[in-house]
């Protein structure tokens, strides 16, 4: 009943209704695009998020993982090595190799190192501290999370990027960029080939969008919320104006 009264009151204020609709439409458009008046421009924002997944095995040149003649106890040092390598991927140097392979700016690449019993929470090393403004650009970031398998020398790599294709490229770049760094380090240290760590990717990464159609959802929610708020303000201002008019009439 009260809602119907408010609605009839609102329709009695045509200019307020038009202003509320225009404001709600502008807010909805601004929520999914960068709006510029001078010069007139409407550039859509990247609101979709995509993810991709791949795995890599940490092994030796003479594969311990694939050679049935090797005992499973030989995997223990490799499991520790996998955690070390996964943690190394969050370092500034390796991040640079990964970012170069993925063709993205290193400052926009966030890497979470593997969790371990000694470090149960993921460590995020990005080269810059996060702030409240990151909430507004979270879908335009490139994130890489590494998890170490507790049983075998296996690293699980999950990425987040604005598109599925870029997420795939970043996941694959995590492996190739790491390999570039390890090969260069082995060359500098003159490590014999039969003593080097080998990493093997288990299939190419596959990406998928995890919030498809988010633009339409955001437009609808923002339009309704702003329209409701601006309509309430319109009714409030109209009542205040009538109150002033009545007070002026009685004052005479």
Residue 121's pLDDT is 53
Q: Are residues 117 and 204 in the same domain?
A: yes
- Cα distances (angstroms) measured from residue 249 to each of 242, 245, 246, 252: 10, 6, 5, 5
In terms of domains, do 218 and 133 share one? no
| Whether residue 134 has pLDDT greater than 50 | no
Take residue 204 and report the two structure tokens written for it. Answer: 């190419």
DSSP string across 228-247: HHHHHHHHHHHHHHHHHHHH
Q: 31 and 139 in one domain?
A: no
Residue 113: how many other CB atoms lie within 10 Å:
22
State whether 133 and 10 are in the same domain. Answer: no
pLDDT band of 231, cuts 50, 70, 90: confident
Whether the predicted pLDDT of 70 surpasses 60: no
pLDDT in tens, 112-122: 988 765 555 55
Could you tell me if 22 and 101 lie in one domain?
no
Shared domain for 128 and 242, answered yes or no, is no
Provide the whole-model pTM: 0.65
Candidates 76, 97, 202, 203; CA nearest to 144 is: 97
For residue 79, the Cα-to-chain-centroid distance in whole angstroms is 29
The C-alpha atoms of residue 63 and residue 78 are separated, in whole angstroms, by: 11
The answer to whether residues 90 and 169 belong to one domain is yes
Find tokens 């969790």 and name the residue. Answer: 115
Q: How far is CA 147 from CA 84, 150, 188, in A?
A: 11, 9, 28
Q: What is the mean pLDDT of residues 101-111?
A: 92
> What is the per-residue pLDDT across 144-185, written as a single tens digit (0 to 9) for each?
999 998 888 899 999 999 888 999 999 999 999 999 999 999
**Judgement on whether residues 41 and 55 belong to the same structural domain of the protein:** no
Q: How much helix, strand and coil, in percent to the nearest 5, is found in the chain?
A: 55, 20, 30
- The total number of structural domains in the chain stands at 2
Same domain, 25 and 70: no
Same domain, 204 and 82: yes
pLDDT in tens, 207-219: 888 766 666 677 7
Range of the domain at 226: 2-46+213-251
Average pLDDT, whole number, for the chain?
78
**DSSP secondary structure string, 187-206?**
HHHT--GGGS-EEEESS--E
CA 123/CA 119 separation, integer angstroms: 8
Measured distance CA(177)–CA(231) in Å, rounded: 54
In a shared domain, residues 125 and 105: yes
Domain check: are 139 and 244 in the same one?
A: no
């Amino acid at each position: 009943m009260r809602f119907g009264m408010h609605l009839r009151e609102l329709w009695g204020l045509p200019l307020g209704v038009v202003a509320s609709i225009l404001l709600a439409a502008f807010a909805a458009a601004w929520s999914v695009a960068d709006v510029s008046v001078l010069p007139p421009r409407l550039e859509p924002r990247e609101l979709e998020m995509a993810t991709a997944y791949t795995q890599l095995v940490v092994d030796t040149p003479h594969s311990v993982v694939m050679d049935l003649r090797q005992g499973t106890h030989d995997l223990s040092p490799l499991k520790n090595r996998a955690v070390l390598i996964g943690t190394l991927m969050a370092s500034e140097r390796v991040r640079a190799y990964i970012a170069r392979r993925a063709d993205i700016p290193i400052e926009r690449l966030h890497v979470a190192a593997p969790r371990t019993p000694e470090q149960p929470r993921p460590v995020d090393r990005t080269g810059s501290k996060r702030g409240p403004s990151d909430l507004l650009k979270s879908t335009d970031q490139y994130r890489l999370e590494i998890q170490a398998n507790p049983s075998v020398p296996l690293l699980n790599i999950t990425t987040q990027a604005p598109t599925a294709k870029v997420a795939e490229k970043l996941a694959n770049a995590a492996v190739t960029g790491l390999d570039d760094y390890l090969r260069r380090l082995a060359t500098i240290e003159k490590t014999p080939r039969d003593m080097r760590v080998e990493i093997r990717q288990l299939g190419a990464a596959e990406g998928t969008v995890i919030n498809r159609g988010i633009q339409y959802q955001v437009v609808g929610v923002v339009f309704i919320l702003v329209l409701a708020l601006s309509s309430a303000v319109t009714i409030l201002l109209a009542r205040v104006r009538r109150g002033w008019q009545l007070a002026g009439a009685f004052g005479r």
